[in-house]
Structure 1
Amino acid sequence: MTKGETVDSVDDLLRRLEQLNAIGTALSKERDITRLLESILVAAKTITHADGGTLYRMTDDQQALRFEILRTDSLHIAMGGTSGNPINFPNLPLRDAEGKHNDSLVAAYAALNNQTVNIADAYTEANFDFSGTRLFDERTGYRSQSFLAVPMKDHEGDVIGVLQLINAKHPQTGEVVSFSSADQSLAESLASQAAIAITNRNLMTQLEALFESFISLINLAIDEKSHYTGGHCQRVPALTMMLAEAVNATQGGPLADFTMDDRDRYELKIAGLLHDCGKVTTPVHVVDKATKLQTLFDRMQLVDTRFEVLKRDLEITALREQLALREVRDATAEADVMSTARTAIDALNDDREFLRKANQGGEFMKDADIERVRQIGTGARWRNTDGVESDFLTAEEIENLTIRAGTLTAGERDIINYHIVATIKMLEQLPWPKHLKNVPEYAGGHHERMDGKGYPKGLTREQMSVQARVMGIADIFEALTARDRPYKQGMKLSQAMGIMHKFRTGGHIDPDLFDIFVQEQVYLRYAQQFLDPWQIDEVNPQAWVN
């Protein structure tokens, strides 16, 4: 070998070492396991000048090697990975039917013995079975010659896969040559880095899965407390991501600079899933309050009983008066007594039906109706089970029955609203990693308003992230259209969007986000996926964009 050739070889080795360092850095940053595996094989082929290669991974039961990525440049073969071409080859078994090591296959031998195998020519190698390789060559006209199989070991020394390279090529002539000792060392170094990268990615994936399972556990706890909120915890994140993706795709307008990468998406997804985690602290009788008098049960039943007592008392009084008239046998007077009682009973029945309707909380309550509740509550008297004459309704019952809209008193609404404070407190206690550090802010801002009149912090639009504002729109729209609330039916699309538009002009929600919500028909895509068909009615999008 001449001096010049030696220098060229050293230069080539240094260049490949630099490639190896660059590859290691790139592998540590890759989050997608499929792209990671593909990068490993492509990198191994590059630094060893290999024409082809296969990356195998150990199956979960540790009994076989599974094909993950396959590449052969000269045959233009690309299978697995991002190629879109599936690998349909069967797994390579590590043991035979009797449980003995399957040392006849190169990749299996490397995995079983935790040892690199470097073969100069498969056709002259007697220690391994290359019958399958020869069949492949016959079908394709290829000539499989040099092989390098390197086990990939994790940080605990366990083999997690095999990197197999085929047909090293001379960098200048392109002639197929054996894999050199330098090729082997570089491939082993890469395999080590690759195994660590794969293990780290798997650990991250497992931790993320565990974390998301805990989130699901929290939402399940909320769902078990109240099945009315379980769907909400799933639908709001879905709508949040729909709108966020629409904003991300926007090329013009005030939100054109907003972008998301995969980490941003994951952060927002987690925030969406946790946005109501504080509801685990909310009493179920408040969350599920379907009528104004409901606590553990609908206390309208007690009011009904009092009406029955009053009616019975009226009948008894009338009958007693009739009996008193028996001595004089005045039929007209008896009829008058019973008629008076019936009139009073009819009035009670009318009051009872009125209170039943008031108890539903479905319509905005008028001042006259509120006054009538109070008159019934304090005007009528009844004798309770202790024999004490009392107001017909207690002060607490009057307070509930005179709720102007909905079924919650001011105190109960404060209890409901506290869930967002609890959410923020809970989330701020967690040691969030850097890529999830904004979860508390995103999740905790969905009840704020653009004009600063929201809660719990009274933030203005400028003080909030785009993500928190997106979640605010998603939370409101889901609540308006939800068909599983105890106190109302889900609204039709046109009605809900009309209310959303009023919120836009009234400073409640972000106007720019709402415009994208309308223009990109996010509302319609959500409706088609989550609403009942009868809710999806005719709408006029032009009426909602200013």
Structure 2
Amino acid sequence: MKSENERLQVLLHFAQNLQAQLELDKLLYTTMEEVARILNADRCTVFLLDEEKQELWSLVAMGIEKGKEIRFPADKGIAGHVAMTGEILNIPDAYRDSRFNPEIDRKTGYRTRNMLTMPMSDKNEAIIGVFQVLNKEDGAFSHEDEELLSAISKIAATAIENSLLYEEQVESLNSFVETLSATLDTRDYITAGHSQRVTLYATTICQQMKMDKDCCEQIRYAGLLHDIGKLGVPESVLFKAGKLTDEEYAVIKNHPAVTRQILESIHFPRKLKLVPDIASTHHEKINGKGYPDGLTIDQIPLGGRVLALADVFDALTSRRQYRDREPIEKVWSIIEKDAGETFDGKVVDVFLKIPLKRIIEILEYDQREKLNPEELAPFKYLPFQWIIEIKRKDPETLTEDEQSLLKTFDRYYWRQY
């Protein structure tokens, strides 16, 4: 038996492990691993109660395929009985209990010997889920195990409620940012869809660079909002058909600074604190000749350097009312020439490695329903660099396969479908 001091140490360690987790799936998995270890059991599942659908569900379960959600009626099985009654069930022999459903064992090849199932309640004593711990490794679950799991469930319930609240806040922020971005693109009919495509290019670069999830999220938000400062540009300047005066150009060049001011007034979560810096540096150049602040490579966040390339690539490959796309080889010649001056050479190199299929999907994002998956399949294995090299070759030296793929690319690029 554990002493009271040992029990407190176990609970403190458990609480500390949960404290660092905000994402629900990671929180649930950490909880299940820790409970199985603490109770010396084979596995544990945490089911949450969906009151609206009256179902118990879990995003993850030990021993079940990762990423596969489990759902069943909230009044079925042993977990359902506990959820409905609030009763603690400590069953020493599962197959002798009529409430046990052996079907899952038959499907998974698992053999349940004993189980401890306990309700999990919020601070108002409302049941929000169920703990189910299986197969104590040295006999049946004891009364001490019940007391320990009861204390654990209170800690877990608080952490899960915080996680669910955090996810609601993230969803609200997502909705707010995407609506704001869409509104901005609607205002500027000339560059409609620009923010979305820049974001897709930027997050694809992030994935190619194997950045962590938080970095990718910061860049995603910054991409969606990088031009929000254009709200401060008068429409007479923004949509002017002729050449801008020096004063008008100065107003345009100030939009990244306005972007920073607007975004700094938004309360972003701690892990998104760099969004204003990233979004406001997409017109900076690594040689210090960009705007609004003339920053050099060491002063520009990596996300800003990623956005800078994504922004220019989209501008050159987008259709306008007054012109078509620039030829892809010309686009890349411009970017190559500016690598090491305007653009971070490492980011440029990474862009060349992006699968060509992904580039086509983003180029034609607003026409994505017209893309033919079978036609695009071969481009999944060709990097963007391939099309640049093909375009620079003598057409007469191309193989039949190269000619066929080039023809398909051009059909999508020039939208001849």
Q: Taking structure 1 as reference, are residues 465 and 486 closer, same or farther at Cα in structure 2, changes over 3 Å only?
A: same
Distance 2:342 2:61 in 1: 55
Local SS of the residue matching 2:388:
coil
Helix, strand or coil for the counterpart of 2:292?
coil
After TM superposition, list the pairs within 5 Å mapping 1:189-200 onto structure 2. Answer: 189-200=151-162
Structure 1 residues 422 and 541: CA distance shift in structure 2, 3 A: farther
Q: CA–CA distance in 2 between the matches of 1:413 and 1:530?
A: 29
Residue-by-residue CA offset, 1:438-471 (whole Å, 9 max, x unaligned): 1111111111122222211122223222221121
1:132 is aligned, of 101, 119, 130, to 101
CA distance in structure 2 between the aligned counterparts of 1:65 and 1:180, rounded to whole angstroms: 26
How many angstroms does 1:275 deviate by? 0.8
2:254 aligns to what SS in structure 1? helix
> Is the Cα contact below 8 Å between 2:201 and 2:362 reproduced in 1?
no
Residue of structure 1 equivalent to 2:213: 262
Amino acid of the structure 1 residue aligned with 2:337:
K
CA 1:143 to 1:419, structure 2 compared with 1: closer, same or farther past 3 Å? closer
- Aligned to 1:461, which of 276, 297, 303? 297
Structure 1 residue 494, shift from structure 2 partner? 0.4
Work out whether residues 150 and 163 of structure 1, in 8 Å CA contact, stay in contact via their aligned partners in 2: yes
| 1:28-43 alignment, distance < 5 Å | 28-43=19-34
Deviations 1:416-450 (A, max 9, x none): 33322211111122344432221111111111122
Q: Residues 221 and 280 of structure 1 are in contact (CA less than 8 Å); yes or no, is this contact kept in structure 2?
A: no
Determine whether 1:116 maps to 2:88.
yes
Gaps of at least 5 residues in structure 2 are 365-370, 372-383, 393-417
The alignment status of 1:279 with 2:230, answered yes or no, reads yes
Alpha-carbon shift at residue 236 of structure 1 (Å): 1.0
Asked if the contact 2:226/2:279 (under 8 Å) is kept, the reply is yes
Paired residue for 2:337?
A: 502
* Whole-Å separation in 1 of the counterparts to 2:387 and 2:214: 38
Match of 2:48 in 1: 57
Of residues 114, 133, 138 in structure 2, which corresponds to 1:165? 133
SS in 1 for 2:282: coil
Q: Which position in structure 2 is the counterpart of 1:295?
A: none
The 5 A counterparts of 1:6-25 are 9-10=1-2, 18-25=9-16
1:528 aligns with 2:342: no
| Cα distance in structure 1, aligned partners of 2:284 and 2:183 | 25
Distance 2:105 2:347 in 1: 59
Please give the residue correspondences for 1:380-419 in structure 2 after superposition, counting only pairs within 5 Å: 403=243, 408-419=244-255
1:92 is aligned with what amino acid? P
2:337 aligned with 1:511: no
Aligned residue for 2:289, secondary structure, equals: coil
Amino acid at match of 1:512: K
CA deviation digits over 1:94-151, x for unaligned, max 9? 3xxxxxxx7xx432232223342333445666xxx42624x66788997755432111
Residue identity matched to 1:262: K
Provide the C-alpha distance between the structure 2 equivalents of 1:226 and 1:141, rounded to a whole number of angstroms: 59
Q: Which residue of 2 aligns with 1:27?
A: 18
Aligned mates of 1:214, 1:264 — CA distance in 2: 20
CA distance in 1, matches of 2:166, 2:201: 26
Q: How does 1:169-318 map to 2 (within 5 A)?
A: 169-170=137-138, 176-177=139-140, 179-246=141-208, 248-249=209-210, 260-289=211-240, 291-292=241-242
Equivalenced residues, count: 373
Letter in 1 for 2:101: G
User: What is the RMSD computed on CA atoms of the aligned residues?
Assistant: 3.2
Structure index of larger Rg: 1
3-state SS in 2 of match to 1:217: helix
Secondary structure of the residue aligned to 1:57 is strand
Query: Cα offset for 1:235?
Result: 1.0
Preserved CA contact (<8 Å) 2:185 2:194: no
Q: Which moved more, 1:453-462 or 1:440-449?
A: 453-462
Which residue, 429, 433, 443 being the options, matches 2:279? Answer: 443
The equivalent of 2:388 in structure 1 is 539
- Structure 1 distance, partners of 2:36, 2:289, is 61
2:30 partner amino acid:
S
- 3-state DSSP of counterpart to 2:64: strand
Note the 1:480-495 alignment, pairs <5 A.
480-483=316-319, 485-495=320-330
Match of 1:91 in 2: 72
SS of equivalent residue, structure 2 residue 295 = coil
Structure 1, gaps ≥5 residues long:
1-8, 72-77, 95-101, 171-175, 250-259, 293-402
TM-score (norm 2): 0.78
* Cα shift at 1:198: 1.7
Structure 2 counterpart of 1:474 = 310
Identity rate of aligned residues, in percent?
29
Q: Give the conservation status (yes or no) of the 8 Å contact 1:288–1:486.
A: no
Q: For residue 79 of structure 1, what is the aligned residue in structure 2?
A: 64
Shift of the 266–60 alpha-carbon distance from structure 1 to 2, 3 Å rule, reads farther
Structure 1 residue 162, shift from structure 2 partner = 0.5
Task: Indicate the residue corresponding to 1:354 in structure 2.
Answer: none
Q: TM-score, normalised by structure 1?
A: 0.61
SS in 2 for 1:79: coil
Distance 1:447 1:136 in 2: 57
Secondary structure at 1:167's aligned position in 2? strand
- Larger mean CA deviation between 155-164 and 113-122 belongs to 113-122
Report the alpha carbon displacement of residue 58 of structure 1 after superposing the two structures with TM.
1.0
User: What is the CA–CA distance in structure 2 between the aligned matches of 1:242 and 1:144, rounded to whole Å?
Assistant: 44
1:47 equivalent among 6, 19, 38: 38
For 1:513 and 1:136, how far apart are their aligned partners in 2?
Answer: 49
Q: Secondary structure at the match of 1:448?
A: coil
Deviation at 1:70, TM superposition (A): 4.2
Quote the Cα distance in structure 2 between the aligned partners of 1:196 and 1:224: 42
Matches within 5 A, 1:147-158: 147-158=115-126
Query: What's 1:363 paired with?
Result: none
Note the alpha carbon deviations across 1:242-262, whole angstroms, 9 max, x for none: 22333x34xxxxxxxxxx322
Question: For the structure 1 residues 414 and 205, does the alpha-carbon distance in structure 2 shift closer, same or farther, using more than 3 Å as the test?
Answer: same
CA contact (8 A) 2:278 2:303 kept: yes
